[in-house]
Amino acid sequence: MGLVIKNIIPVTGNVITEEMIAYMRKYLSPDTELRSVQIKVGPPSIECEYDEAVCAPDVLRLCKEAEEEGCDGIFINCYGDPAVKAAREYVDIPVFGGFEPSLHLSMGLADKIAIISVMNNVLPMIEGNVARAHLDGRVCCVRSIDIPVEDLQQHDKLVKALIAEAVEAIKVDGAQAVSLGCTAMVDVTEDVQAGLMELGYEIPVIEAAQAAVMLLELEAKMHLKQSRITYMRPPER
């Protein structure tokens, strides 16, 4: 019997399509199941700290449900990692958002990593995640393409904007790899990487959702889960 990874969509808006989910699971083992569920109470998209806080209660509810269903891992489908640390305290199976897996994978491919996300108002949130993860020395910049999450399905517009911002990150900030800073930026990695190659920049471009589900699959297969020294159980009251 294969593994089961629960894909929790932490927004109420229609931002994740079936095509996106198919792309996310592109490299998973054929017998690994990706089950998707969406919160019922929360913001239509996550573009600031407030949005993260509002979605957290329903995200945690779905995390507990996933554990009770017997799932092997949980992907909270957002680059901002909403409620990820709280979920690790709450359940006994591996939990990732999009931020950490993408950065872990990138760091094995380059020394200086650019994160390119959606709107300017998400940048402080991502910069805060970088600081808390002590990755300041490896992340050379956090940039935005000024496109809201709801408009990311405009494929050609998204690819063009990502290439342009990646070139600036390379020229100005010394970037050597790109982490796409929104889990709704799917099915564009190959086109962005090819566009950069045409301009003479041979660098990896990492899609966060794929990185997350692959790392969850790996940890589940290795029977790994979060440390109870780092992520202590919430005290009983």
At 17, is the pLDDT very low, low, confident or very high (cuts 50, 70, 90)? confident
Least confident residue range of 25-39, 147-161, 205-219: 147-161
For β-strands 4-9 and 73-76, DSSP reports them as parallel
Domain edges within the chain: 4-98+211-221, 99-208
Structure tokens at 15: 């931002």
Fold identical between 4-98+211-221 and 99-208?
yes
Strand partners, 178: 114, 205
pLDDT of residue 150: 80
Specify whether the CB–CB gap between 175 and 114 falls below 8 A.
yes
Q: How far apart are CA 206 and CA 109, in angstroms?
A: 10
Whether 47 has a pLDDT exceeding 90, the answer reads: no
Second-level CATH architecture of 4-98+211-221:
3-Layer(aba) Sandwich (3.40)
Please tell me the CATH code under which domain 99-208 is placed: 3.40.50.12500
Q: How far apart are CA 197 and CA 221, in angstroms?
A: 35
